[in-house]
Amino acid sequence: MDPNRIRDVEIKRLEELAALAYKNAMDEGLRMKTRESWYQKYTNAVLALNQLLKDLQYKDYEKRLKVIEESRKLRRTVLSSADARKLFGPVTRRVKQRKRSSRSLNGKRIG
C-alpha cells in the first residue's frame, strides 16, 4: 500500500475527529466533565495532525534540498576546471605585454 495514501487517510480521519471533538467540547448541553474529555481529545487530535503535517513538510523540504544539491553537483561537474583540463588539455593564455607609458602620474612626460 502507498504510504502517501495511508498518510492522507490518517490526516482526513484526524481532521474529522478534531471537528467532532471540538463540536462536543463546545456543546453546553453536555456535563462539564464530558466537555473537558472532548476538549482533551480535540487537543490530542490537533497535536497529532500538526505533527503529521510537519513531517510531510520536512519530507518535502528534503526532496527540494536533494534536487538543489544534485543540480549543484551537476553544475560543478560541468563547470569544474579539472574537467575542462581533461577535455581540452592545459590552457595557456598568451597575452602581449603592454608598452610602459612614458608619462608620469600627473600626465607630463618624463625625461
Distance CA 34, CA 40 (A): 10
pLDDT at 25: 95
Residue 110 inside a domain? The answer is no
Residue 71 inside a domain? The answer is yes
Indicate the pTM of the whole model. Answer: 0.55
Q: Which residues pair with 111 in a beta bridge?
A: none
Residue 25 inside a domain? The answer is yes
Residue 82 inside a domain? The answer is yes
Range of the domain at 24: 7-88
Q: Which three cell numbers stand for residue 68?
A: 538543489
State how many domains the chain has.
1
User: In order along the chain (111 residues), what is the average pLDDT of each group of 10 residues?
Assistant: 84 94 95 96 95 90 87 67 67 67 58 53
Q: Name the residue type at position 62.
A: E
Residue 76 inside a domain? The answer is yes
pLDDT at 72: 76
89 backbone φψ class: left, alpha, beta (φ>0; ψ -120 to 50): left
pLDDT at 32: 96
Residue 103 inside a domain? The answer is no
pLDDT at 68: 85
